[in-house]
Amino acid sequence: MMINFEKKGEWLVMSIPPVWEGLTPEQLFQEVWKAPKKQTHFIRMNKEMLINGKSDLWTHNLTKGDCIRLKLFQEEDFGVTPSYMDVDILFEDELMLVVNKPPGIDTHPNSPGQTNTIANGIAFYLQANGEHCPVKHIHRLDRDTSGVILFAKNSFAGAILDRMLQERNIKRTYTAIVHGIMQKKKGKIDAPIGRDRHHPTRRRVSPNGQKAVTRFEVTETNKKNNTTIVRCQLDTGRTHQIRVHFSHIGHPLVGDLLYGGKPSYHRQALHAAKLEFVHPFTLEKLSISAPHPW
Which positions are catalytic?
142
Radius of gyration of the CA atoms of the chain, in A: 21
Number of C-beta neighbours around residue 43 at 10 A: 20
Helix (H, G, I), strand (E, B) or coil at 90: strand
CA distance 5 to 96: 13
Q: CA distances (Å), 188 to each of 122, 177, 210, 217, in order?
A: 35, 17, 16, 9
Q: Is beta strand 171-179 parallel, antiparallel or unpaired with respect to 203-205?
A: unpaired
CA distance 43 to 29: 10
Number of C-beta neighbours around residue 275 at 10 A: 23
CA distance 203 to 195: 4
